[in-house]
Structure 1
Amino acid sequence: MSTLGQWLDLIGVAASAVAGALVAGRRQFDWLGVAVIAGVTAIGGGTVRDLLLDRPVFWIANPSYLQAALAATAFTLLYARRRRIPERVLETTDALGLALFGIAGARIAVGLGHDGVIAVVMGVITGSFGGLLRDVLCNDIPMIFRQGQFYATAIILGCSLYVLLIGQGLETNLAAGAGMLAILGLRIAAIVWNLRLPVFRLPPEDR
């Protein structure tokens, strides 16, 4: 992996850890609970991806990712004791984690020779499964399953754009940047304008 790619992954880990810590803080977990939830959010999706792709788990192969998650968690705990952290910080850090992790997962799958569909699936797993595990542990409906949330859809579209661009011969880093911006932009737009997918409802049964 390039140095730039590793730095982006570290930023994604830190951003996701902050988001996880804030979710745990809103539920008044103790410091150990906050660390667990932040860690699961930061490394959960990448761990599932690596196990499915039968490759070394990224944070075991390179402990700097775990260190980044712990450092971001500690910073959040200390900062939140002095200042109130707005809800939008949680939404923004979560969106940033989606963008960075989603494309990271797709890049890894493409690098291993998998086709575009698998790359998109791995992008979704990497980007959203940490948050899914976080929400399950916090006894919440996972964000990916909440009614109409424009969440995993942003990853699907951004990773599809990435796969399409590299298929057209665009340089990998440029295609990755376009995919990340697409995911981040779509997720933030969904938050600001409450963009939602149509909800599937069955008609009531006749009695």
Structure 2
Amino acid sequence: MPTFVQVIEFIGTFAFAISGIRLASAKQFDWFGAYVVGLATAIGGGTIRDVLLDVTPFWMTDPVYLICSALALLWVIFFGKLLIHLHNTFFLFDSIGLALFTVVGVGKTLALGYPFWVAIIMGSITGAAGGVIRDVFINEIPLIFRKEIYAIACVIGGLTYSVCDYAGLDLILTQILSGLSVFVVRILAVKYKICLPILKGTDVD
């Protein structure tokens, strides 16, 4: 039976892959190109995290992540028209993936013995870096560089995880609360148009 963390990873992979494939379809990518974008979205952040932590990237020891991304492609192929009509699908799947992958990144880093501040950074990379790769592939400005609250939501999720872990809460409850904090922050930030101040620069001649 898969562990709770593995279930989180599978759901996050599926959600992130759909978010990438959904945007690729809007850019008229072919099936293979859309799969590459979806896969990069799903495994990109975790790959960077594992390289920095000096461990074998997670998808190289288990092909289920590649298969999960392929299933996401089939889902978009068969239900693409429905997804197009549901205008908030990209935001929903992206937010789910962001929340779940942040939890996985923080938990894995703490399990390897790193301090909480490293875990928060690694959780943010796990959650947000895949989206950066996705946006670069489809020639869009990455979300984390725009006004939207994105990577900050990962940081808040990481802080929530660390506080719950320090307080001695049950691991599964800690993971749920951490993921919910990321998801809720993203939802509220978009709903109420909450954003960080724009850095005002001077014109360069």
One fold, TM greater than 0.5?
Answer: yes
The C-alpha deviation readout for 1:117-158, integer Å capped at 9, x for no partner, is 100000011001111001111111111101x21010011011
1:120 match: 120
Q: Is the 8 A contact 2:83 2:89 kept in 1?
A: no
The one-letter code of the counterpart of 2:32 is L
CA deviation after TM superposition for structure 1 residue 204, in Å:
6.3
CA distance in 2, matches of 1:51, 1:201: 35
| Equivalent residues, number | 205
Instruction: State the 4+ residue runs in structure 1 displaced beyond 3 angstroms.
Output: 81-85, 202-205
The one-letter code of the counterpart of 1:103 is V
RMSD of aligned C-alpha atoms?
Answer: 1.8
1:165 match: 164
> Counterparts of 1:186-197 in structure 2 under 5 Å?
186-197=185-196
SS of 1:113 mapped into structure 2? coil
CA distance in 1, matches of 2:124, 2:84: 31
CA distance in 2, matches of 1:94, 1:172: 24
CA deviation after TM superposition for structure 1 residue 88, in Å:
0.3
CA distance in 2, matches of 1:82, 1:14: 17
> In the alignment, does 2:155 pair up with 1:181?
no
TM-score by structure 1 length?
0.93
CA distance in 2, matches of 1:151, 1:84: 23
The one-letter code of the counterpart of 2:187 is I
2:135 match: 135
CA deviation after TM superposition for structure 1 residue 87, in Å:
2.4
CA distance in 1, matches of 2:202, 2:20: 37
CA distance in 2, matches of 1:42, 1:60: 13
2:90 match: 90
User: Aligned in 2, Cα 1:7/1:27: closer, same or farther, shift over 3 Å?
Assistant: same
The C-alpha deviation readout for 1:90-140, integer Å capped at 9, x for no partner, is 000000000000110000000000001100000011001111001111111
CA distance in 1, matches of 2:55, 2:199: 37
1:79 match: 79
2:109 match: 109
The C-alpha deviation readout for 1:66-97, integer Å capped at 9, x for no partner, is 11111111111221156634220100000000
CA distance in 2, matches of 1:129, 1:69: 17
2:39 match: 39
CA distance in 2, matches of 1:53, 1:36: 24
1:22 match: 22
CA distance in 2, matches of 1:110, 1:154: 19
2:152 match: 153
CA deviation after TM superposition for structure 1 residue 203, in Å:
5.6
Unpaired runs of 5+ in structure 2?
A: none
Unpaired runs of 5+ in structure 1?
A: none
CA distance in 2, matches of 1:151, 1:171: 27
CA distance in 2, matches of 1:192, 1:108: 31
What percentage of aligned pairs have identical amino acids?
Answer: 35
The one-letter code of the counterpart of 1:55 is V
User: Aligned in 2, Cα 1:75/1:121: closer, same or farther, shift over 3 Å?
Assistant: same
CA deviation after TM superposition for structure 1 residue 202, in Å:
3.2
SS of 1:200 mapped into structure 2? coil
2:7 match: 7
